[in-house]
Amino acid sequence: MSVIDCVRVRHSYTPATPVLHDVDLAIGDGERVALLGRSGSGKSTLVRAMLALEPLASGAIHCDGRVVTPGPVRRLRWFRRLVQYVPQDPGATLDPQARVLDIVAEPLRRLCGVTDRARLTAAAATVLEAVGLPAALHTVRARDLSGGQAQRVAIARALAPEPRLLIADEPISGLDAPLRAHVIDALRHASASRGTALLLVTHDVSAAAALSDRIAVMHDGRIVEDRRTGDLLAAPDHPETRALLAAVPRFPA
């Protein structure tokens, strides 16, 4: 069963300037998909459409068998619980004065209706542990977190309502190598242990290779190749895929 099925999406800011062209992308339960492409390829526009943040010029987004369109928070609460988003810059979305535990508990209050303080604390602590953040950080304020810690708090917040799909937008961009490895491990563990589907939005071939079962390559608003990760990396079909792979640095042994 597919948690998300994007059928022939054609999105545009104005009718004269289409951004996406006939995009078909389905993500099955528990599947890990990388959306790979350069800046300007249409990745962010597609994600905004999938999150019901932008209307479609034509086509439709289907989630859990229902059509999803932009609308008020109350009407989309079921969808926000099923599909959660991890932003590229978590610092811009974390209240600097809020404690880590409260940040992670917030979607449980808003989307799941959990009000009991003990339940909120226990659930938030469990998901923080799942992304590798120790109990000592639970009472720390967001302003005092490192970049890697803030990214893992953002992942924990998105996992708290137990979504079926996690969309992670360039989650390791700007992090140094050790922190990149920590965030990739956190995403891999969370997906595997919870059965959560993952859409990794990235221009980083190595991240796509490390995290995905399947890679969809975007170029000029289209998905030009969509194949199993090993097959695509071993024998890319499209010139854009070959160009992305050729850009990966090769170091002598």
Both tokens of 127, joined, read: 């998901």
Integer Cα distance of 236 and 60 in angstroms? 29
pLDDT at 111: 93
Integer Cα distance of 225 and 241 in angstroms? 8
Integer Cα distance of 247 and 234 in angstroms? 15
Rounded to 5 degrees, φ, ψ at 117 are -60, -40
Q: Per-residue pLDDT tens for 54-81?
A: 888 777 888 888 889 889 988 999 999 9
Q: Where are the domains of the chain?
A: 2-246
Integer Cα distance of 199 and 4 in angstroms? 10
> 77, 147, 74, 133: which is closest to 107 by C-alpha?
77
DSSP 142: G
pLDDT at 1: 55
Name the residue with tokens 């609460």: 77
Question: pLDDT over 70 for what percent of the chain?
Answer: 91
Q: Per-residue pLDDT tens for 11-24?
A: 544 455 567 888 88
Rounded to 5 degrees, φ, ψ at 106 are -55, -45
Return per-residue pLDDT of the chain as tens, 253 residues. Answer: 556 654 445 554 445 556 788 888 889 889 999 999 999 898 988 898 889 888 887 778 888 888 898 899 889 999 999 999 998 888 788 999 999 999 999 999 999 999 999 999 999 999 998 888 899 999 999 999 988 889 889 999 999 999 999 999 988 877 778 878 888 888 888 888 888 999 999 999 999 999 999 999 999 989 999 999 999 999 999 999 999 999 887 645 4
Integer Cα distance of 86 and 92 in angstroms? 11
2-246 under CATH 3.40.50.300, yes or no: yes
pLDDT at 8: 43
pLDDT at 3: 61
Three-state DSSP state, 11 = coil
Q: What is the CA radius of gyration of the chain?
A: 18
Strand stretches in the chain, DSSP E: 2-10, 23-28, 32-36, 58-63, 66-68, 83-86, 165-169, 197-202, 214-219, 222-228
CB within 8 Å of 94: residues ≥ 6 apart: 103, 142, 145, 150, 153, 154
